[in-house]
Amino acid sequence: MKFIKRYKFFLITIGIIGIITLINRSIGLKAISVAGYSFKEMALVIPPVFILLGLLDVWVPRETMVKYMGEGSGIKGVILSIILGSAAAGPLYGAFPVAAVFMKKGAKFSNILIFIGAWSTTKIPMFLFEISALGARFAVTRLVVDIPGIILIAYILSQLIPKEEIREIYRKVENM
Protein backbone atom coordinates (compact mmCIF):
# COMPACT_ATOMS: atom_id res chain seq x y z
CA MET A 1 0.00 0.00 0.00
CA LYS A 2 2.89 2.35 0.79
CA PHE A 3 4.31 1.65 -2.69
CA ILE A 4 1.02 2.59 -4.36
CA LYS A 5 0.69 5.78 -2.30
CA ARG A 6 4.27 6.81 -3.01
CA TYR A 7 4.15 6.15 -6.75
CA LYS A 8 0.47 6.87 -7.44
CA PHE A 9 1.18 9.63 -9.99
CA PHE A 10 3.58 7.37 -11.88
CA LEU A 11 1.14 4.43 -11.79
CA ILE A 12 -1.77 6.63 -12.93
CA THR A 13 0.38 7.92 -15.79
CA ILE A 14 1.24 4.38 -16.88
CA GLY A 15 -2.45 3.48 -16.73
CA ILE A 16 -3.42 6.50 -18.86
CA ILE A 17 -0.73 5.70 -21.42
CA GLY A 18 -1.96 2.10 -21.48
CA ILE A 19 -5.54 3.27 -22.17
CA ILE A 20 -4.34 5.67 -24.86
CA THR A 21 -2.35 2.84 -26.47
CA LEU A 22 -5.45 0.62 -26.51
CA ILE A 23 -7.52 3.39 -28.11
CA ASN A 24 -4.91 4.65 -30.57
CA ARG A 25 -1.82 2.49 -30.86
CA SER A 26 0.35 5.03 -32.76
CA ILE A 27 -0.26 7.84 -30.25
CA GLY A 28 0.37 5.47 -27.33
CA LEU A 29 3.62 4.23 -28.85
CA LYS A 30 4.68 7.83 -29.52
CA ALA A 31 3.98 8.71 -25.86
CA ILE A 32 6.04 5.72 -24.72
CA SER A 33 8.84 6.75 -27.10
CA VAL A 34 8.88 10.33 -25.77
CA ALA A 35 8.85 9.09 -22.15
CA GLY A 36 11.69 6.66 -22.92
CA TYR A 37 13.75 9.42 -24.52
CA SER A 38 13.18 11.70 -21.50
CA PHE A 39 14.12 8.91 -19.12
CA LYS A 40 17.31 8.18 -21.09
CA GLU A 41 18.23 11.88 -21.10
CA MET A 42 17.73 12.09 -17.33
CA ALA A 43 19.73 8.90 -16.81
CA LEU A 44 22.65 10.49 -18.68
CA VAL A 45 22.46 13.88 -16.91
CA ILE A 46 21.68 13.00 -13.30
CA PRO A 47 24.68 10.74 -12.44
CA PRO A 48 27.34 13.35 -13.37
CA VAL A 49 25.38 16.02 -11.48
CA PHE A 50 25.32 13.86 -8.36
CA ILE A 51 29.03 13.05 -8.67
CA LEU A 52 29.80 16.77 -8.85
CA LEU A 53 27.46 17.38 -5.90
CA GLY A 54 29.30 14.79 -3.85
CA LEU A 55 32.61 16.46 -4.64
CA LEU A 56 31.17 19.90 -3.86
CA ASP A 57 29.81 18.60 -0.57
CA VAL A 58 33.18 17.13 0.44
CA TRP A 59 35.60 19.69 -0.99
CA VAL A 60 33.87 22.98 -0.16
CA PRO A 61 33.63 23.66 3.58
CA ARG A 62 30.45 25.27 4.90
CA GLU A 63 32.45 28.29 6.08
CA THR A 64 33.68 28.95 2.53
CA MET A 65 30.15 28.76 1.11
CA VAL A 66 28.82 31.08 3.83
CA LYS A 67 31.68 33.53 3.17
CA TYR A 68 31.11 33.69 -0.58
CA MET A 69 27.36 33.03 -0.93
CA GLY A 70 25.91 33.36 2.58
CA GLU A 71 24.00 36.14 4.32
CA GLY A 72 26.90 38.58 4.45
CA SER A 73 28.31 37.86 1.00
CA GLY A 74 26.81 40.94 -0.66
CA ILE A 75 27.64 41.59 -4.31
CA LYS A 76 30.26 38.83 -4.46
CA GLY A 77 27.53 36.27 -3.64
CA VAL A 78 25.35 37.67 -6.42
CA ILE A 79 28.22 37.59 -8.94
CA LEU A 80 29.30 34.09 -7.93
CA SER A 81 25.70 32.85 -8.20
CA ILE A 82 25.44 34.27 -11.72
CA ILE A 83 28.81 32.83 -12.78
CA LEU A 84 28.06 29.35 -11.38
CA GLY A 85 24.59 29.31 -12.93
CA SER A 86 25.84 30.58 -16.29
CA ALA A 87 28.73 28.12 -16.46
CA ALA A 88 26.54 25.14 -15.63
CA ALA A 89 25.68 22.53 -18.21
CA GLY A 90 22.57 20.47 -18.51
CA PRO A 91 18.83 20.98 -18.24
CA LEU A 92 17.19 23.05 -15.52
CA TYR A 93 16.24 20.04 -13.40
CA GLY A 94 19.98 19.61 -12.76
CA ALA A 95 20.04 22.97 -10.96
CA PHE A 96 17.78 21.91 -8.11
CA PRO A 97 20.07 19.29 -6.52
CA VAL A 98 22.95 21.78 -6.81
CA ALA A 99 20.80 24.45 -5.18
CA ALA A 100 19.98 22.01 -2.37
CA VAL A 101 23.68 21.46 -1.65
CA PHE A 102 24.25 25.22 -1.71
CA MET A 103 21.41 25.58 0.82
CA LYS A 104 22.90 22.86 3.05
CA LYS A 105 26.20 24.74 2.94
CA GLY A 106 24.57 28.00 4.07
CA ALA A 107 24.03 29.97 0.86
CA LYS A 108 21.64 32.90 1.10
CA PHE A 109 18.13 32.27 -0.30
CA SER A 110 18.29 35.13 -2.80
CA ASN A 111 21.63 33.79 -4.09
CA ILE A 112 20.01 30.38 -4.58
CA LEU A 113 17.24 32.02 -6.63
CA ILE A 114 19.82 33.97 -8.65
CA PHE A 115 21.75 30.76 -9.30
CA ILE A 116 18.61 28.98 -10.56
CA GLY A 117 17.65 32.00 -12.67
CA ALA A 118 21.12 32.18 -14.20
CA TRP A 119 21.13 28.43 -14.88
CA SER A 120 17.85 28.73 -16.75
CA THR A 121 18.57 31.98 -18.62
CA THR A 122 22.22 32.97 -19.01
CA LYS A 123 24.10 29.83 -19.95
CA ILE A 124 27.37 30.53 -21.72
CA PRO A 125 26.82 27.99 -24.56
CA MET A 126 23.40 29.54 -25.24
CA PHE A 127 24.96 33.01 -25.27
CA LEU A 128 27.60 31.89 -27.80
CA PHE A 129 24.91 30.30 -29.98
CA GLU A 130 22.87 33.50 -29.87
CA ILE A 131 25.90 35.53 -30.96
CA SER A 132 26.43 33.28 -33.98
CA ALA A 133 22.74 32.87 -34.90
CA LEU A 134 21.16 36.18 -33.88
CA GLY A 135 24.09 38.56 -33.63
CA ALA A 136 26.14 40.00 -30.80
CA ARG A 137 23.82 42.99 -30.34
CA PHE A 138 20.83 40.75 -29.61
CA ALA A 139 22.79 38.39 -27.33
CA VAL A 140 24.34 41.18 -25.27
CA THR A 141 21.04 43.06 -25.04
CA ARG A 142 19.28 39.94 -23.78
CA LEU A 143 21.99 39.40 -21.19
CA VAL A 144 21.91 43.06 -20.08
CA VAL A 145 18.14 42.78 -19.58
CA ASP A 146 18.11 39.27 -18.08
CA ILE A 147 20.78 39.64 -15.40
CA PRO A 148 19.21 42.62 -13.59
CA GLY A 149 15.81 40.95 -14.06
CA ILE A 150 17.02 37.75 -12.38
CA ILE A 151 18.52 39.71 -9.48
CA LEU A 152 15.39 41.84 -9.07
CA ILE A 153 13.06 38.83 -9.14
CA ALA A 154 15.26 36.97 -6.63
CA TYR A 155 15.21 39.86 -4.18
CA ILE A 156 11.46 40.45 -4.61
CA LEU A 157 10.75 36.75 -4.02
CA SER A 158 13.07 36.73 -1.00
CA GLN A 159 11.04 39.56 0.50
CA LEU A 160 7.61 38.22 -0.47
CA ILE A 161 8.10 34.67 0.80
CA PRO A 162 7.55 34.56 4.55
CA LYS A 163 10.76 33.99 6.55
CA GLU A 164 9.20 30.97 8.26
CA GLU A 165 8.54 29.38 4.85
CA ILE A 166 12.17 29.97 3.82
CA ARG A 167 13.35 28.41 7.11
CA GLU A 168 11.07 25.42 6.40
CA ILE A 169 12.62 25.00 2.94
CA TYR A 170 16.10 24.99 4.52
CA ARG A 171 14.93 22.47 7.15
CA LYS A 172 13.59 20.16 4.42
CA VAL A 173 16.87 20.41 2.52
CA GLU A 174 18.81 19.50 5.68
CA ASN A 175 16.69 16.35 6.02
CA MET A 176 17.37 15.18 2.46
pLDDT, tens digit, for every residue of 20-46?
999 999 999 999 999 999 888 888 878
Q: Report how far apart, in Å, the C-alpha atoms of 66 and of each of 73, 77, 107, 109, 176 are.
A: 7, 9, 6, 12, 20
Provide block-wise average pLDDT over 10 residues at a time, the chain (176 residues). 87 93 94 91 81 80 86 93 88 89 93 96 90 94 96 96 95 89
CA–CA distance, 159 with 103 (Å, rounded to integer) = 17
Q: Is 89 left (phi over 0), alpha (psi -120 to 50) or beta?
A: beta
Predicted confidence at residue 112, as pLDDT, reads 97
Q: Report how far apart, in Å, the C-alpha atoms of 131 and of each of 126, 150, 154 are.
A: 9, 21, 27
* Mean model confidence pLDDT for the chain: 91
Domain coordinates in residue numbering, the chain: 1-59, 60-175
